[in-house]
Amino acid sequence: MKMLLPLVAVVLAFTSVKGQEPTPGALKAAEKLADVIDLKAQMSSGFEAMMPMINNMSEKMKLNPTDSKELEGIFRAWFMEDFDHAKIFTETIKLYAENFTEEELTGLTAFYESPLGRKSLTALPQLMKKGAQMGMAEGQAKQDKLRARLEPFFKKHTPSGNP
């Protein structure tokens, strides 16, 4: 979850339909949860979740190692310098408080303070990363089948018949 939570939080923060304003108690409970799960550290390491995508881009562009590092540096600077991490942190806390009651947030905090919760914070990001890699490998292996399925659609919807 260390890698996934920040990305999910960013997506949800900007795409979720806002519910009612969270109560002060829910906000306080969400702040406690953010502290227990070390949300700030998760956000800082969120860039690493993008690495497979960046590496894949480098491979597709057939970049040499120097140019690949330059591309990574561009993405790293964008994430570390251009993202408003404080805003995302604050909005994520508010998002949690809007979507969970104070009692639920307290329960989540208790879970993440437990041995199983601590273990899940460590293990789940690796499991999710491996699962995503398996899904990406399967998608790449089956991309010819996708192209075959898309071909009639593109012929129908594009003037030249090519994407």
CA–CA gap between residue 157 and residue 19 (Å, rounded): 38
Confidence of residue 161 (pLDDT cuts 50, 70, 90): low
Going from the C-alpha of 122 to that of each of 35, 55, 100, 129, the distances in angstroms are 15, 24, 23, 12
Q: What is the mean pLDDT of residues 20-49?
A: 88
pLDDT digits (tens, 9 = 90+) for 100-132: 999 999 999 999 999 999 999 989 888 887 888
pLDDT at 64 over 90: yes
Confidence of residue 17 (pLDDT cuts 50, 70, 90): very low
Q: Which long-range contacts (CB under 8 A, 24 or more apart) does 61-69 make?
A: none
pLDDT at 16 over 50: no
Q: What is the mean pLDDT of residues 25-34?
A: 96
Q: What percent of the chain has pLDDT over 90?
A: 48
pLDDT at 136 over 70: yes
pLDDT computed for residue 163 by the predictor: 61
